[in-house]
Amino acid sequence: MKILVVEDQPRLGEFLRQGLGERAYTVSLAQTCAQARDALCESSCDAIILDLGLPDGDGLDLLREWRRCGFNEPVLILSARDSVEDRISGLDLGADDYLPKPFSLEELLAHVRCLLRRHSVVKQALIEHRGIRLDLAGHTVRAHGQPVDLTSREFALLELFMQNIGRTLTRDFISDRIWPGLVDTNLLDVYMSRLRAKLEDSSGAPLFRTLRGIGYQMA
């Protein structure tokens, strides 16, 4: 399980990295809002532990941005702000749990286990966006009510985008997920052309944005 820890205090960040790492979690650290955004663009994660008081912004604004963009992975707020109002604000903005500082490592680990267990049960089996309906359980796709025939790789690529609507996905990130171990990322361009041909309506706005030299984004 991959966990992103967004915490600006280096000692606490390292404490969390070590404590979670000893329990077989893979941990990435970010100390600012900018670093957290970059981390999610470069790699996916199974959960986020989020501090609120960050040097370049408020963690609540970052959380609001993630939820607005369709990022649905579980978020545990870990903050010294422990008033009832702060907790309500965090949960209303889309946090899945709230743990005030100071805390014990064992309590944090219990919250993380509960978060991941609960999320694995309720993970979406049906995703819809701009007329595209992706059924993960049935492994089918419909566009504006009409069935779309996709290969297994095309389906996996579309699923990756629909799980990350609005996020910029780098070429390397996409290729590692869809063609692990393959060095030639030019294959991605071929598959993107196929998806566009099968899903985009010429009369509407493009479904996928190309960010030259960076990657792609599902709009």
pLDDT at 137 over 80: no
Contacts of 65 by beta carbon, 8 Å cutoff, 6+ apart: none
Distance in angstroms (rounded) separating the CA atoms of residues 151 and 174: 17
pLDDT at 211 over 90: yes
Distance in angstroms (rounded) separating the CA atoms of residues 71 and 48: 11
Statement: the pTM of the whole predicted model exceeds 0.85: no
121 band by pLDDT with thresholds 50, 70 and 90:
low
Give the pLDDT score at 118.
78
Give the pLDDT score at 183.
63
pLDDT at 125 over 80: no
Which part of the chain is CATH 3.40.50.2300? 2-122
What are the CA-CA distances from residue 169 to residues 11, 42, 54, 214 (Å)? 30, 7, 24, 8
pLDDT at 122 over 70: no
What are the CA-CA distances from residue 103 to residues 26, 29, 34, 88, 107 (Å)? 21, 19, 26, 19, 7
Q: Which CATH superfamily is domain 2-122 in?
A: Response regulator (3.40.50.2300)
**pLDDT tens by residue, 29-51:** 999 999 999 888 777 788 999 99
CATH code matching the domain that covers 126-218, chosen among 1.10.10.60, 3.65.10.10, 2.40.10.10, 1.10.10.10? 1.10.10.10
**pLDDT tens by residue, 76-92:** 999 998 888 888 888 98
Give the pLDDT score at 194.
94
Least confident among 134-138, 151-155, 200-204: 200-204
Which part of the chain is CATH 1.10.10.10? 126-218
Q: List the Cα angle 82/84/85 in 5-degree steps.
A: 100
pLDDT at 149 over 90: yes
